[in-house]
């Protein structure tokens, strides 16, 4: 047989060679660790559907942040579970609410060594589990929710958050939050817009983690999984409203959307390797069906390869260690 002069396998011969010619290099500084803080806890509590992930007490945040710093992570994203919820999610705007207390504690512990991000959404604080307040007919009231988001943004900025993660998928949320922040002098507080957030089946373990009391579904405000172009439309709108980062969520089922957004974005692009994606790897690895370490590294690499500058993953601490070893 006559072979062409070029043999691609020559560049795969050894680990050193493969490392030399690798097209994508993931760095721990690109990783963000989601962190759950539960009001009233005195010690960390494991989340059954998210093996290796815990609900933490407020006091435990110091250690969690220190672990993230030591691992070289780029940041932490804070989520909170309050003891009391109501229809308007009032705990979200309370300066003494669990999320705002967690932001202040994490910011003090980080001391500028990593970026402290906070989830800006009402779903963790409402007794109906939706990301906004409800109208009389039971639908989510977009514009009334924006007013609350503005107040929530100011509470988080005053607590010291570096980045506000707008995950509610309300139309106009970036502009509303940016206006509220700027009016009060918080011009340096950044906005991470969850621009293309899909109504996915992969959020189940997260809802366990935050003890969600969702009634119904979120299909009227989260995106249809069938829609690709709409992801770029949403990202463009958010950039126009002043977003400093945009996000695609989930990650692996939407790598095409992620690539589209990254190809045209003028700001850094994040992707969230969500709870269901993480749990699938953990469950298969527990049964011996796949290699856990290789699967997590492959997942994160593919997300970065598709165009993500930042990856939120529950495996961030371990992935950072594996990257250093490799």
In a domain, 18, yes or no: no
Q: Is 7 inside a domain boundary?
A: no
Mean pLDDT value of segment 214-236: 95
pLDDT digits (tens, 9 = 90+) for 48-88: 999 999 999 999 999 999 999 999 999 999 999 999 999 99
Asked whether residue 190 carries a pLDDT value surpassing 90, the answer given is: yes
The reply to whether 173 falls in a domain is yes
Residue 294 has pLDDT above 80, yes or no: yes
Model confidence at 2, in pLDDT bands (50, 70, 90)? confident
- What is residue 326's predicted lDDT score, i.e. its pLDDT? 80
Average pLDDT over residues 287-313: 98
Q: Is the peptide bond before 250 cis (omega within 30 degrees of 0)?
A: yes
Q: What is the average pLDDT value for the chain, to the nearest integer? A: 96
Show which residues are catalytic. Answer: 197, 249
With a cut of 90, say whether residue 3 has pLDDT above it: no
pLDDT of residue 194: 98
User: For residue 119, which of 64, 61, 177, 161 has the smallest C-alpha distance?
Assistant: 161
Residue 289: predicted pLDDT = 98
Mean predicted confidence (pLDDT) in 103-117: 98
d(CA 268, CA 189): 15
* 115 is a domain residue: yes
Which candidate, 173, 48, 235, places its Cα nearest to that of 164?
A: 173
pLDDT exceeds cutoff 90 at 103: yes
Say if 4 falls within a structural domain.
Answer: no
d(CA 176, CA 123): 18
Q: What is the pLDDT of residue 213?
A: 79
For residue range 33-48, list pLDDT tens digits in order: 999 999 999 999 999 9
Residue 2 included in any domain: no
Checking if the pLDDT of 168 tops 90, the result is yes
- Written as six digits, the tokens of 251 are 């990650």
Q: What domain range is 149 assigned to?
A: 26-325
Which candidate, 201, 143, 135, 190, places its Cα nearest to that of 166? 190
> Domain total for the chain?
1
13 found inside a domain: no
Residue 115 CB contacts under 8 Å (≥ 6 apart), including other chains: 32, 74, 75, 76, 162, 163
**CA 103 to CA 162: how far, in whole Å?**
9
Q: Does the pLDDT of residue 1 top 80, yes or no?
A: no
Taking the model in full, what pTM does it have? Answer: 0.95
Average pLDDT of the residues in 148-153: 98
pLDDT digits (tens, 9 = 90+) for 267-286: 999 999 999 999 999 999 99
DSSP secondary structure string for all residues of 205-234: HHHHHTT----S--TTTSBPTT-SHHHHHH
Q: Does a structural domain hold residue 19?
A: no
- 13 class by beta-carbon count within 10 Å (0-12 exposed, 13-18 middle, 19+ buried): exposed
For 234-268, the pLDDT digits (tens) are 999 999 999 999 999 999 999 999 999 999 999 99
**What is the structure's pLDDT at 303?**
98
What CATH number is associated with residue 247?
3.20.20.70
């Amino acid at each position: 047989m006559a072979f062409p002069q070029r043999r691609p396998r020559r560049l795969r011969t050894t680990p050193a060679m493969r490392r030399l010619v690798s097209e994508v290099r993931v760095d721990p500084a690109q990783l963000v660790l989601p962190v759950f803080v539960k009001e009233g806890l005195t010690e960390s509590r494991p989340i059954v559907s998210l093996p290796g992930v815990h609900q933490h007490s407020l006091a435990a945040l110091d250690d969690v942040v220190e672990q993230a710093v030591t691992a070289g992570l780029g940041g932490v994203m804070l989520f909170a579970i309050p003891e009391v919820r109501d229809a308007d999610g009032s705990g979200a705007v309370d300066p003494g609410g669990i999320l705002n207390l967690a932001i202040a504690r994490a910011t003090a512990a980080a001391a500028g060594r990593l970026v402290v991000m906070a989830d800006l959404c009402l779903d963790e604080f409402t007794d109906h589990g939706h990301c906004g307040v409800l109208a009389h007919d039971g639908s989510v009231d977009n514009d009334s929710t924006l007013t609350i988001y503005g107040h929530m943004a100011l509470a988080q900025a005053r607590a010291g958050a570096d980045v506000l993660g707008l995950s509610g998928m309300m139309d106009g949320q970036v502009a509303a939050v940016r206006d509220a922040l700027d009016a009060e002098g918080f011009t340096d507080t950044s906005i991470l817009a969850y621009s293309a957030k899909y109504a996915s089946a992969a959020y189940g373990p997260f809802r366990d983690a935050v003890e969600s009391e969702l009634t119904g579904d979120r299909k009227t405000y989260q995106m249809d999984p069938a829609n690709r172009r709409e992801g770029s439309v949403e990202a463009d709108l958010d950039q126009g409203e002043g977003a400093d980062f945009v996000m695609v969520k989930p990650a692996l089922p939407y790598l095409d959307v992620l690539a589209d957004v990254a190809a045209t974005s003028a700001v850094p692009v994040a992707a969230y390797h969500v709870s269901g994606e993480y749990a699938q790897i953990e469950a298969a690895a527990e049964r011996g069906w796949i290699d856990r370490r290789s699967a997590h590294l492959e997942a994160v690499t593919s997300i970065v390869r598709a165009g993500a500058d930042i990856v939120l993953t529950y495996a961030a601490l371990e992935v950072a260690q594996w990257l250093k070893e490799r």
